[in-house]
Amino acid sequence: MNTLTIVVAVVVASVAASPGQSRVALLTGRWTAQFDGRTFVRLELKAVDGTFTGGLSLGNVEVDKQGALRRVGDAPRELKPIFDVTHGDSTVTFSRKDVDETDRFELRLLPAGQAQLKMLLTEGTLKELAASGIPDPKPFVLTKQ
């Protein structure tokens, strides 16, 4: 009877772990976003011992009054390392150093091999942008390569 209980517990534990593991696999890989034929976001995520690592390359972005993309620049070839990575069921949040500032992002898994990358702006940055007539940029839709 004890052997049967152990076997059942192992089967239940492996089935319960599978959805989380598959989510990690769905989040890892190479992601890109394009606008008007230009790749302006390149993101690479790797899972190592339950932790995400990788890099992000982001071109210049200009948005309209609704926060939608108006114009973009090509993403630089070199990826900047990401750090301070945390993840949930279908999201990964991380930081990236950009010259003397640190930018924070959230990647949210969408259906059909897509994800949404949102810039997590501070309240001060949002107020500064609003004072200049620039709205909070809408999330970018990325496609897994």
pTM over 0.85: no
CATH number of domain containing 22: 2.40.128
Question: What does the alpha-carbon distance between residue 45 and residue 26 come to, in Å, rounded to a whole number?
Answer: 10
* Count of domains for the chain: 1
Residue 142 burial class via C-beta count within 10 angstroms: exposed 0-12, middle 13-18, buried 19 and up: buried
> What range defines the domain where residue 40 resides?
2-144
Structure confidence by residue, pLDDT tens digits, 89-144: 899 999 999 888 899 999 999 988 899 999 999 998 889 988 988 888 999 999 99
